[in-house]
Amino acid sequence: MTTTDLAERYSRRVALRHERLYGHGYQGPGSEAVFAELTSRLDLRPGLRLLDIGSGLGGDSFRLAERHGLTVVGLDAAPDMTAVCVERAAEQPLPGLSFVTGDVRGSQLLTPDSFDVLWTRDCGAFVPPADKLPAWRRLHAALRPGGQVLVTDYCLGPQGASAEFAAKMAAWGQYMLTPDAYGAMLGEAGFTDVAVEDRSRHLMDSMLAGRRLLLDEQEDFLAEMTREEYDGLLDRWDRKIGFCERGELVWMVLTARRAQS
């Protein structure tokens, strides 16, 4: 997606609507259990400097700064996402937490050896194929030797995409890889100890909970949006659940490192 497309897709209005279904601060699986599982895969110590790439509404950035004492920079290409995070940070100031608007493909934040941890949740699928490897090479250079990486992302299932799935992914501006291809790309970018795991169950649980909320609180939703918008939201959730059930859509967790030297 271009930066202009991202600004539109992640406008304040759309993102706050999706946040109601995913949970406060999130545009994807954001339960306490998922957060705890992800952080348990890393060695997080107070004072480490973490870059949250595609930080969205900041759920992880706030939790990482507050609970793990990290210095966190949230980077997001959509200005509305950063603006919401800055407003929330003013209400809940945390030392060492900041948000910057910028595209990971060209951000000035990515200076050599400047972060201890790269953390990115459900952002990479938006990066077009030709830009993915160059972006990860830049990120590798920005990570200090020995630094850690955690990625969650939407991926293609092993049997490939149906015509319906391919058309929806194109419409939603997502360019997915299989988990194995994702891992191989990080290896090519220079990372070591690359491990990928299918955790689609987390995505399913989160989508099903959102769908239940949409149905249970239908009247509240319809007080805030048109019937067409409500039906569009339900259709989006139903399609994602269907793609996930059929194994076309996979939610992957990846960890990696930059070698010590």
Ligand X SMILES: C[S@@+](CC[C@H](N)C(=O)[O-])C[C@H]1O[C@@H](n2cnc3c(N)ncnc32)[C@H](O)[C@@H]1O
Please report, as ranges, the residues that interact with ligand X according to CB under 6 A.
Answer: 6, 10, 26-28, 30, 54-56, 59, 75-78, 81, 103-105, 121-123, 126-127
CB 177 to ligand X: min, Å: 15
Q: How far is CA 217 from the centre of its chain?
A: 26
Q: Which residue in the shown chain puts its C-beta closest to ligand X?
A: 56
Residue 145's Cβ-side half-sphere holds a number of Cα atoms within 13 Å equal to 3
Please say which residue, 106 or 145, places its beta carbon nearer to ligand X.
106
- The Cα-based distances of 234 to 24, 143, 160, 217 in angstroms read 19, 40, 25, 12
Residue placing its CB nearer to ligand X in the complex, 52 or 248? 52
| Residue closer to ligand X, measured from CB, 10 or 221 | 10
* Shortest CB 30 distance to ligand X, Å: 6
Nearest to 146, CA basis, from 256, 44, 259, 50:
259
Q: How far is the CB of 227 from ligand X (least distance, A)?
A: 26
Q: Residue 124 Cβ, how far from ligand X at the closest point, in Å? A: 8
How many degrees, rounded to 5, is the angle at CA 161 between CA 157 and CA 162? Answer: 135
Residue with tokens 């015509």: 163
Cross-strand partners of 252: 153, 198
Q: Which is nearer to ligand X, 116 or 122 (CB)?
A: 122
H or E, element range at 185: helix 179-189
By C-beta, is 122 or 248 nearer to ligand X?
122
| Minimum CB–partner distance for residue 121 and ligand X (Å) | 3
